[in-house]
């Protein structure tokens, strides 16, 4: 029985080298984007600036600022809501930036993987 020639997967060695170089480049871009995200901070306000929350790219709250005028012992729930709103907005900003940077680093490839 005659055996077919060729390379496994139908790729030529030059194409495989090119693919490996592209993969290495993408890996470096992802590493750079990850490092930049970890160093970034995101700040959001609530209550017209009465509460300000800063989070890091590592999803850690790094700072909370509260205007003393919004501290009302009779209405602690409002202050809690403002802190929660500012924190969630800062985390949303961080996540949006993270997705944008990773998409740029991978050329949108990572979002199209079947697994």
pLDDT of residue 95: 92
**43 has pLDDT over 90:** yes
Q: What's the mean pLDDT in 62-81?
A: 94
**Arithmetic mean of pLDDT over the chain:** 84
pTM over 0.85: no
Could you tell me which of 71, 62, 66, 111 has the C-alpha nearest to residue 91?
Answer: 62
Q: Under DSSP, is residue 32 helix (H, G, I), strand (E, B) or coil?
A: helix
Average pLDDT rounded to a whole number, residues 26-51: 90
Are the beta carbons of 70 and 82 closer than 8 angstroms?
A: yes
pLDDT category of residue 115 using cuts at 50, 70 and 90:
very low
């Amino acid at each position: 029985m005659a055996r077919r020639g060729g390379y496994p997967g139908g790729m030529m060695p030059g194409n495989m080298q090119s693919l490996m170089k592209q993969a290495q480049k993408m890996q470096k871009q992802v590493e750079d984007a990850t490092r930049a995200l970890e160093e970034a901070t995101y700040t959001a306000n609530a209550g017209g600036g009465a509460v300000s929350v800063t989070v890091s790219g590592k999803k850690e709250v790094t700072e909370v600022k509260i205007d003393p005028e919004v501290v009302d012992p009779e209405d602690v729930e409002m202050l809690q809501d403002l802190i929660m709103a500012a924190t969630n907005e800062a985390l949303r900003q961080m996540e949006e930036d993270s997705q944008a940077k990773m998409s740029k680093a991978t050329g949108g490839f990572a979002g199209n993987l079947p697994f």
